[in-house]
Amino acid sequence: MLERVLRMNINKGNLDENPTEWLEHLFEDEYCAECGGDTTHHTPIPFMGNWFARCDYPPDEDGNLHPLIVQYRKLKKEE
């Protein structure tokens, strides 16, 4: 996941891309390795000319996913 974030940031290199579109590209094939969420669970943060995805619902200190993320992923599986 981190490699993909870095790759996307290097490829784009600036803030020209819409932050919503950037998040959609970042999470189109996978969930976040940190929190287990996707586009709807992150806030794009501009930093030094690049976008970075900040987890809105980080895991707890034991590494367990936030209950909202668990519920969301169950609903996505049912679709």
Instruction: Say what the pTM is.
Output: 0.66
3-state secondary structure the chain: CHHHHHHHHHHHCCCCCCHHHHHHHHCCCCCCCCCCCCHHHEEEEEECCEEEEEECCCCCCCCCCCHHHHHHHHHHHHC
Q: Can you tell me the mean pLDDT for 49-78?
A: 86
**Domains of the chain, residue spans:** 2-78
Read off the pLDDT of residues 1-59 as tens digits, 9 standing for 90 and up. 555 554 554 454 457 788 888 888 888 888 888 888 889 899 999 888 888 999 998 88
